[in-house]
């Protein structure tokens, strides 16, 4: 008993595994390189799973500079916070998706954070959010730092979907993160090529694929001025949704 | 009722500690309440009492006393080193609510009183900690 009296426990650590245990699948959309399309793929993947499988949860894990809500077309200034024995994720109107982001609390402001603050925010969001889906898609920030490390320690179900464009910087980044995940015996669903313009782009990605032994599941085409369609996710889904079917099948069949 | 989710976390910790240490009775559950999180003590206590009743009924684990101990919110600037007690009163209700949910968002609404930096450490009084005896 005396040893207990000296311990200061963070209660969030006890509840987070229970909160995440409701998910049958947890998919972390990942690339250490920024600008490869993680957020767009995360939103479209959540949409695809929700349409072809069922209710899907989407979490923006970028707590410093979240942007998933922009692709979803939400006016973040007008989104309120709903509570019921915790914080309820936002139901995306007309869709079978529930969504959580730090932007509900920071609105359009940048939040300057050091490592321990990021860890605290990830713990806070995971301990008080009451999800109601079977599959969680996580849009991760660039890099491989506190957000991803802290999140993934709470669930053994996490599976990684690697995003890469065909350029050497993104391919090199994808190779590094795959090597790291493989060394930890983590489950990698596959690679999603993005912004592919020519046949040789697919060749570059397939070369990476054969080198690291991870399949390229799909290659999303380059779209001129895609940023003009951020917020109109239905348009984006019509463009790319079909390409995501192999990924959804792979996730759902696991 | 965001406090309910936090109470669930506390009770889950009691359950885990009981199991890890093969104990079914704790004399004191002390909860440190960081001022920054602005926890509603009455709601937290209500939720704790309800959830502890369930814990006793379902797992036979009991807690005799709950002690709430408030901790001042103190920040230290990482640029100029200035240390101060954070005062949320001048902020709007909306901003205080965001800080209630996610205390780290305080950096959006408050800067160092000496050098205006938002790069400050929350030295104490951020959120909840529990101590069992």
Over the stretch A65-75, which tens digit does the pLDDT of each residue have? 999 999 999 99
Whether A14 and B13 lie within 8 Å, measured CB to CB? yes
Instruction: Give the domain-ending residue among B56, B71, B86.
Output: B71
- Give CA A131 to chain center in angstroms: 15
Query: What CATH number belongs to A28-253?
Result: 3.40.50.300
**Taken in order A126, A123, B69, A2, is the CA torsion positive or negative?**
positive
What's the pLDDT tens digit per position in B99-127?
A: 999 999 999 999 999 999 999 999 999 99
Closest CA to B133 of B51, B67, B72, B56: B67
What is the side-by-side strand order in the sheet with B62-71? B62-71, B25-34, B128-132
Kindly state the tokens that stand for A223.
Answer: 């779209």
| Domain match, B32 and B79 both | no
CB contact under 8 Å between A85 and B1, yes or no, is yes
Residues B15-25 pLDDT 10s = 999 999 999 99
Supply the ipTM of this predicted assembly: 0.96
Enumerate the H helices of chain A as residue ranges: 2-5, 12-20, 38-52, 68-71, 103-106, 115-128, 146-152, 168-183, 199-212, 233-240, 245-253
Instruction: Flag whether B133 is in a domain.
Output: no
Q: How many CA atoms lie within 13 A of B106 on its CB side?
A: 27
Same domain assignment for residues B59 and B86: no
pLDDT-based confidence at residue A150 (cuts at 50, 70, 90): very high
Bridge partners of A135, per DSSP, are A25, A56
Q: Minimal Cα–Cα distance from A198 to chain B, Å?
A: 44
Cα A88 to Cα B10: distance, rounded to the nearest angstrom: 19
Residue B8 and residue B59 in one domain? yes
One domain for residues B10 and B64: yes
Domain count, chain B: 2
* Angstrom distance (rounded) from CA B8 to CA B50: 10
Instruction: Give the domain CATH number at B35.
Output: 3.30.2320.50
Q: Report yes or no: B115 at the A interface, CB cutoff 8 Å.
A: no
Q: Contact B101/A128, CB-based, under 8 Å?
A: yes
pLDDT at A198 over 90: no
Residue B91 forms part of a structural domain: yes
Domain end residue (candidates: B25, B44, B71)? B71
Judged by CB atoms closer than 8 Å, whether chains meet at A9 and B13 is answered as yes
Q: Which residue range(s) make up the domain with B100?
A: 74-125
Main-chain phi, psi angles of A115, to 5 degrees = -50, -50
pLDDT for the residue numbered A1: 45
Q: Which residue has the tokens 């793929």?
A: A41
Residues B120 and B81 in one domain: yes
Residue B14, in any domain of the structure: yes
Q: Are residues B37 and B95 in the same domain?
A: no
Residues of B in contact with A113 (CB under 8 A): 104, 107
The mean pLDDT of A131-152, rounded to a whole number, is 97
pLDDT band at A6 (very low <50, low <70, confident <90, very high): low
Q: Report d(CA B58, CA B52) in Å as an integer.
A: 10
Same domain, B90 and B64: no
Cα–Cα distance for residue pair A92/A231, rounded to 1 Å: 12
Q: What integer pLDDT is reported at residue B125 of this predicted model?
A: 97
Min distance A15 CA to chain B CA atoms (Å)? 5
Across the interface, do A14 and B15 touch by the CB < 8 Å criterion?
Answer: yes
DSSP run (H or E) holding B8? helix B2-21
For residues B88 and B44, state if they share a domain.
no
Query: For A15, which of B8, B21, B107 is closest by C-beta distance?
Result: B8
Q: What is chain A's mean pLDDT, rounded?
A: 93
Provide the whole-model pTM.
0.95
Contacts of B119 in chain A (CB under 8 A): 112, 114
Neighbours of A235 (CB within 10 A): 13
User: Which of A142-151, A217-226, B37-46 has the weakest average pLDDT?
Assistant: A217-226
> Quick one: pLDDT at residue A2?
43
The helix (H) or strand (E) run that includes residue A193 is: strand A187-196
| Beta-carbon separation of A8 and B132 below 8 A | no
How far does the CA of residue B73 sit from the closest CA of chain A (Å)?
Answer: 15
Average pLDDT of span A15-32: 97
Q: What percent of chain A is modeled with pLDDT above 70? A: 98
Enter the DSSP assignment of A163.
E
Say yes or no: B48 and B20 in one domain.
yes
User: Does one domain contain both B62 and B8?
Assistant: yes
- Selecting from A11, A120, A130 the residue whose C-beta is nearest the C-beta of B126 gives A120
Taking a C-beta distance cutoff of 8 angstroms, is the pair A6, B130 a contact? no
If asked whether residues B56 and B30 sit together in one domain, one would say: yes
pLDDT-based confidence at residue A5 (cuts at 50, 70, 90): low
Q: What is the mean pLDDT of chain B?
A: 96
Q: How far is B5 from chain A (nearest CA, A)?
A: 5
Q: Which of residues 50-69 of B touch A (CB under 8 A)?
A: none
Same-domain pairing of B15 and B66: yes
pLDDT number for residue A4: 60
């Amino acid at each position: 008993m005396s040893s207990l009296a000296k311990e200061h426990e963070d209660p969030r650590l006890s509840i987070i595994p229970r909160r995440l245990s409701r998910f049958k699948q947890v998919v972390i959309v990942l690339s250490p390189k920024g600008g490869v399309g993680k957020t767009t793929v995360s939103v479209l993947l959540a949409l695809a799973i929700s349409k072809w499988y069922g209710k899907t949860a989407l979490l923006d894990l970028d707590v410093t500079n979240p942007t998933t809500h922009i692709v979803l077309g939400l006016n973040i200034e007008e989104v309120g916070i709903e509570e019921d024995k915790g914080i309820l994720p936002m139901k995306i109107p007309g869709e079978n998706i529930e969504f959580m982001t730090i932007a509900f609390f920071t609105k359009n402001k940048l939040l300057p954070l050091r490592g321990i603050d990021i860890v605290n925010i990830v713990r806070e969001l995971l301990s008080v959010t009451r999800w109601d889906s079977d599959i969680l898609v996580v849009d991760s920030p660039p890099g491989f730092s506190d957000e991803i490390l802290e999140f993934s320690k709470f669930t053994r179900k996490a599976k990684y979907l690697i995003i890469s464009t065909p350029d050497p910087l993104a391919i090199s980044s994808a190779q590094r993160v795959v090597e790291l995940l493989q060394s930890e015996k983590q489950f990698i669903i596959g690679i999603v090529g993005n912004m592919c313009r020519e046949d040789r782009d697919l060749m570059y990605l397939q070369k990476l694929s054969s080198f690291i032994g991870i399949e390229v599941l799909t290659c999303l085409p380059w779209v001129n001025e895609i940023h003009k369609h951020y917020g109109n996710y239905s348009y984006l889904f019509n463009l790319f949704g079909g390409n995501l079917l192999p990924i959804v099948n792979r996730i759902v069949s696991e | 009722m965001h406090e309910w989710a936090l109470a669930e976390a506390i009770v889950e910790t009691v359950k885990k500690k009981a199991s890890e240490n093969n104990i079914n009775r704790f004399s004191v559950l002390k909860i440190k309440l960081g001022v920054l999180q602005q926890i509603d003590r009455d709601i937290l206590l209500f939720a704790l009492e309800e959830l502890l009743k369930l814990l006793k009924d379902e797992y036979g684990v009991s807690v005799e006393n709950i002690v709430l101990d408030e901790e001042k919110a103190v920040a230290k600037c990482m640029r100029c080193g200035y240390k101060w007690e954070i005062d949320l009163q001048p902020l709007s209700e909306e901003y205080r609510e965001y800080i209630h949910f996610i205390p780290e968002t305080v950096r959006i609404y408050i800067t160092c009183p000496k050098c205006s930096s938002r790069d400050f450490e929350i030295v104490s009084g951020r959120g909840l900690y529990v101590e069992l005896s």
